[in-house]
Amino acid sequence: MDSVDSIPVPSAAGEVSPATATLRTTLERRAMDWSLVLVSQGIPVTLDRDATTTNGWTLTVAAGDLDRSRALIRQFRLENRGFGWRQELPGSGLLFHRGVLAWVAAVAAFSMLGDSVASGQFDSRAVRAGEWWRAFTAMWLHADPGHLGSNAAVGTVVLGLAMARHGAGWALLVAGLAGAAANGIGLHFRPGAYVGLGASGLVMAALGLLVPQAWPWWRAGRRQTRLALGAIAGGSFLFLLLGTDPSGDVLVHAAGFVLGLLGGLALVLVPEAWRRKTDLAAGIAFVGINGAAWLLALRH
């Protein structure tokens, strides 16, 4: 149950201070979203556990910010009402975008082509000769079912979370561009001839997209700073766990993660209302870029 209440808060001397706004929700992810909305509008907010429930959260703002905070939260809830693609991961407090399953299905379909589409593989000699599209098409191909399963499993989680946080279109576009750029960085640091396949650069970029969501919390007080540090540490640990396997392309993984992190930071610094308005256009751009890349690949 979510609510926006006005309650008195005792002062240090036991007196009652003017009313403050207390925003309550049972979802940790929603509480964090609300805190980011307020912080982005210059309203200091304290995020904490709700002492009246076992799994609730509260946000408290100054008395002078009461009406504005209520309006901002209600507007945010109104704009996000009925968005059926996003749902809570049971017991986690995190929001997940089910649209990521379309990406999984597309990757699985392309991977059925396997090595038969040589023009889609990241052949370093061909890319140096000008076939830039291979940096994009290679992310849709995998060497074997195990390779596909690994990227699809991790990608479903991190990309689904990134799509719920930043918007489906923007998460796909930024992760896709970062993954392709990571393939290019790998080419720059490897002078020899090699062939690459797989969506791991995009997947690591999606993981990087999740870390900068903690950035606005730095401005919101000591409690939120601890949350920010926890998010950064968690994202870094997951990269070390998933992206540094010697059997994989660690260079492309690291480049994808860093580029995704930078892209995610850029997304959290722009107004959320603008991201929502342009999210569909970003998704169309993602489909258009990859569609054009595949048209060029199949013509060669």
Domain ranges of the chain: 3-81, 95-299
Q: How far apart are CA 219 and CA 249, in angstroms?
A: 36
Superfamily name with CATH number, domain 3-81: Hypothetical protein rpa1041 (3.30.70.1530)
Q: Is the distance from CB of 243 to CB of 253 less than 8 angstroms?
A: yes
Q: Could you say which architecture CATH assigns to the domain 95-299?
A: Up-down Bundle (1.20)
Q: Dump pLDDT digits (tens) for 185-234.
A: 999 998 889 988 889 999 999 999 988 876 655 555 555 555 556 667 66
Cα 171 to chain centroid, rounded = 6
| More confidently predicted of 42 and 162 | 162
Q: How far apart are CA 178 and CA 180, in angstroms?
A: 5
Q: Dump pLDDT digits (tens) for 252-289.
A: 999 999 999 999 989 988 887 788 889 999 999 999 99
- Position 244 confidence tier, pLDDT thresholds 50, 70, 90: confident
Q: How far apart are CA 122 and CA 193, in angstroms?
A: 10
Q: How far apart are CA 55 and CA 50, in angstroms?
A: 7
Q: How far apart are CA 177 and CA 259, in angstroms?
A: 9
Residue 290 is predicted with a pLDDT of 96
